Structure 1
Amino acid sequence: MRATSAAGRLVRGSRGPVVRFRRGSAGIGSPRASEGVDAAGEPVRAAEGAAPVPPARAAPGSPRALGRRPRAGGGVRRGARGGRPGRPAGRVRRCSAGDGHPVRRHRPPGVGGDLNIESSGSGSVKVQNIECDRCEISTAQGASVLEAVKSQNLCVQTKGGNVICLGTVYGNIDIKASHHSSVTADKLQGSCVNIATEDGLLEVKYLYTESSFLSSAAGDIALGNVHGNIVLQSKKGNITVDSSSGCLKASSQQGAIDVYISQLEEVALTSQEGSITVKAPSSLRAYLKLSGKEVVVDADAQVHDMAKDHKGGNVTVTGLMNQARSQERWITAVAPKGTVSFKHQSWFQSLKLSD
């Protein structure tokens, strides 16, 4: 739709054509000297006998009268110096990283909405202090840095760059890192967390989740404090858990497994060619079933009613901790070609504080 006027000029805005009039001009369709313009840009005639309204003056209370610009979504954003508009929220701009690679930094668009970022080549992405419904990040060789991000669904995929999560990252998280890409995180919290690497390290200091599945083809899996139902899988890498509270299932084809159990519902550990080390406090109540080429039980572990069974070149040891019943919480560790060790370790020792 086009609006025509002898004294007006046509300006195309983001929501269609807008007609603006030249100040003080007289002619067909233009406001006369006794007319003004309201907030919608329509001419306003002064009442009979009232003082004339100066031309081109905005109605009181309008965004123009307050020195602000209308903003997408209905909000109002103050302009920068001299009343010029600032950068719109949610805009992605390129910066220069310290190593000379371009970095895409995203300023928070506020609450709600979706965020989709794609980077090619060695371009890196950094997203911080943001809350949105869905966040998708895809990179080729550049790093993906997330800091204090909260999203209902967070998906990160990289073909060669590292994924770094700083602070706390909330949401249903899905991260896939190919080749030698590593994934390191300070704290992940959400209903469901899925992380997969190929040859790179997978390291998470704190993991609070209802269910998680973490896997690596050849890289190591190193976890700090984990809570919830956790499944860990690695073909060639080692698996380490500093403290587990909940249900834990870990398996490795060739790597070793080292786990400290602080509280448990069910723990199942399997290494086909590596060794397994299980550590637990003396207060833990559990039923034990340890099977391997060799089984070593620490004397300080206070395992009662122990029984050994030798079969097929392997030995299986069963026992109870703190009068636990076999139907209750249990720990099983199977290493057909390796050694299974069960050791006593206090909670303070699990903190690994230096002397």
Structure 2
Amino acid sequence: MSEANLFTPVRIGDIALHNRIAMAPMTRNRSPGGVPTELNALYYAQRASAGLIITEGTTPDAGGRGYIDIPGLYDAAQVAGWRRVTDAVHATGGRIVVQLMHTGRISHPDFLDGGTPVAPSAVAAAGNIFTRQGPKPHPVPRALEAHEIPAVIASYGRAASLAIEAGFDGVEIHGANGYLPSQFLSTNVNLRTDDWGGSVENRARFLLGAVAAAAEAIGAGRVGLRVSPGSSFNDIADSDPEATLTHIATALRGRGLAYFHLVGGAYGYDAAGIARRRFDGPLMLNGGYDRARADADIAAGRADLVSFGSAFLANPDLPERLRTGAALNAPDTATFYGGDAKGYTDYPALAAAA
């Protein structure tokens, strides 16, 4: 046991944090044309008392777009938009990294100028995706040709470089929740028989390649990775998620990454334990935490940081509320996705509520 808790400073790679509370990445659909706005800057600046902010999923390439009004990081306008955000966060002493998310098959031609989403194999996700014309079935994606894959991986490196240009403290590779790297990992989506499919070593090549591309571009100490081994979100399945997580965590040893971020879930095995034993850097856990449980896991050495999602959405001053035991605002689920300031930047802080 240690004396560390949520409010103990910590260094993750090249990034020094004043506490161990992270704001988890949450899609909010409020960046028209993929460009962050002053409203986005206000939203993140309000939450800068977090030790670390992880932005909403941000596509590293135009071919990775999915959903309405999610941001990107592949052109000059997006860099300028994100610079407004990072300047606002840094002005209040915060730290912020951008989550790089290629949606892969979780997209639609409506978001791709009529193009077909890409994936490891031509396997459509079940269900619908919400477009500006309403819900539409997920289309059958186009299987990436082997010669195309290195260029997609390289987009993570280019986006990481642009992230530093935009003032970010680092990047998080989104390897979770059924998006493109997760699709490569998953045995129900990746049906390939070449070097990118089959064994866990082959299925993990895309994810590990994306991490390596970002690390080469900006230094491993500014790169984190988020995974969700065993999650079925976005119609994903893995025949042996424990083996997948073991391979990934082991492969990341010695790379000097800023952190490894494990999405919370009832996976049927001790995912956090595997990650802690196999990975040799800072470990961030997520999922249903309150202060007592977070402090206990940090003190026990089970985690180095804890990320909070919807609680941060509704409580811009969440660290102070956790520190003092104050009541939390309830999130308004009707305003999670899209819209304006309502349910985005109008949640009251303690001082305003008083």
TM-score by length of 1: 0.22
Higher alpha-carbon Rg: 1
If each structure's strand is expressed as a fraction of its own residues, which one has the higher value? 1
* Higher RCO by CA contacts (8 Å cutoff, separation 6 or greater): 2
